[in-house]
Structure 1
Amino acid sequence: MLLEPGTPLKVGILIAPGFALMDIAGAHSVFGMAPNTELHVLWKDRHPVMAMPDFPCHASTTFDECPPDLDVLVIGAVGTSAIEDPQLIQFLRKQCPRTRFVISICAGALLLGAAGFLQGRRATTNLHLIHTLEAFGATAISGGEVVIDGPLYSAGPATGSFETALMVLARLRGEQIAKLLELTIEYHPRAPFNVGTPELAGPELTRQTLELYADFFRRSTETALEHYRSALEPQR
């Protein structure tokens, strides 16, 4: 599975209107700092897009220019308007099956669900969406660990971006390179308040965060399910 010495590591990182910057920042750092990496920041065009929270950027590579033989494709949460975009879903339906490793961070699972890539696979996501994965044909795995199922590496938000990237880097460049990168970026998270899971936070704080983002995730899920179900129609 290791790449031959001298072979570029081809990595695509999806951006889109309303994408969650924290979901891709870790993977961008890990792969971008790895030696001999060909990094493609992907969107359908090069027009500026705004991340969430506000952070303006633009793609380096359009969908039409994306190499068909990516080694890694990184997908994090995006805004509802991006999930509604059929061009994005079509790109994922075409690109995911021919990519060696697909990394899903947080609500990136909704995009993969919409594209049909979760069907029959074990996967995880954030606490707001874990209960929705079965509707996309997946087996939902909670607990906060990186979940590996064949080419799919899925995780929750924030630190999951670093962890999945380091694990996939080890598969492609070897464990020694991955260890070197982990030390170089001094990846050793220590949560200041130790409430980063529902179990640690307790029911009241968990209820508050679920309520805070309930409308956003409900709209995003409904949109993703429309794509998924429409793709299933010819099979029925």
Structure 2
Amino acid sequence: MTSSLKFGLLVFPRITQLDMTGPLQVFSSLAGAEVHLVWKRVEAVQSDTVLSIMPTTAFADCPQCDVLCVPGGYGTDELMGDDEVLDFLRAQAAGARFITSVCTGSLVLAAAGLLTGRTAATHWSAVEVLPIFGVTPSRERVCMDGNRITGGGITAGIDLGLSVISELVDRRTAEAIQLRMEYDPAPPFNAGSPDKAPAEVLHLMEDRMKAAKERRMGLARAAAARLR
């Protein structure tokens, strides 16, 4: 019965809201679904834009979820070393049917030890981080490894959500949600991945992300050392 299915999506400061709102829209389209936006406290968190997000449930009050989803964003750098967050994820993962992430959310799952020895996807700029935690990176838009389902960067959250519904319920239900959302992407430019983007665009983005990537690598190494 879908009426009993519970979905928990982590929200946190400096989250990339589309990482979360993509799968949120998919999960919320499932009849009878119970969806929770979870953070340490029920107080607004600032995303990486002007949008603030209000959690619906605190860690201490969150029920056991069937699906746990960790979105990405610059805030995941700090979450890799946040014991309160990592402990919450480990506790939820013990009873969840599917443990999922979007974008750099997979780095947080990895820091919690929930992807060790598995294959996972993440944002293209963060693929070098996963091996630090003993995770094999995948460039798939949605990567499935057992009950771990991880998505690539940002817009892959919709694909992730639909894939989860297909596994959790059935393909017809996922297709109906896709049609309701009119999810039929036809981007105006063919620059949505490092393999397709013009070289000058890729170099521009790599330059802009260089300092952030170096900082993330340092935090990841510290988190991996603590995990070991």
Deviates more, 1:177-186 or 1:51-60: 51-60
Could you say what secondary structure the match of 1:128 adopts? helix
> Is the 2:2–2:33 Cα contact (8 Å) retained in structure 1?
no
> Is the 2:123–2:154 Cα contact (8 Å) retained in structure 1?
no
Corresponding residue number in structure 2 for 1:89 = 86
- TM-superposed deviation, 1:102: 1.5
Counterpart Cα distance in 2 of 1:218 and 1:11:
33
Partner amino acid, structure 2, of 1:170: S
Corresponding residue number in structure 2 for 1:135 = 132
Counterpart Cα distance in 1 of 2:212 and 2:44:
23
Q: How does 1:103-182 map to 2 (within 5 A)?
A: 103-142=100-139, 144-182=140-178
> Is the 1:111–1:224 Cα contact (8 Å) retained in structure 2?
no
Distance change >3 Å, CA 106–CA 201, structure 1 → 2: same
Q: How does 1:208-219 map to 2 (within 5 A)?
A: 208-219=204-215
**Identical amino acids, percent of aligned pairs:** 30
Corresponding residue number in structure 1 for 2:58 = 62
Partner amino acid, structure 1, of 2:115: L
Unpaired segments ≥5 residues, structure 1: none
Counterpart Cα distance in 2 of 1:103 and 1:126:
14
Counterpart Cα distance in 1 of 2:213 and 2:99:
22
- The superposition leaves residues 148-206 of structure 1 with CA deviations (integer Å, 9 ceiling, x where unpaired) of 00111112123311111111111222222111100000011111111101111133211
Distance change >3 Å, CA 223–CA 186, structure 1 → 2: same
Q: 1:73 aligns with which of 65, 68, 74?
A: 68
- TM-superposed deviation, 1:6: 5.3
Counterpart Cα distance in 2 of 1:228 and 1:157:
22
Could you say what secondary structure the match of 2:150 adopts? strand
Unpaired segments ≥5 residues, structure 2: none
Normalization by structure 1: what TM-score? 0.90
Distance change >3 Å, CA 211–CA 97, structure 1 → 2: farther
Deviates more, 1:185-194 or 1:87-96: 87-96
Counterpart Cα distance in 1 of 2:213 and 2:94:
26
Partner amino acid, structure 2, of 1:101: F
Could you say what secondary structure the match of 1:204 adopts? helix
- TM-superposed deviation, 1:17: 0.5
> Is the 1:73–1:101 Cα contact (8 Å) retained in structure 2?
yes
> Is the 2:165–2:174 Cα contact (8 Å) retained in structure 1?
yes
Q: Does 1:206 align with 2:202?
A: yes
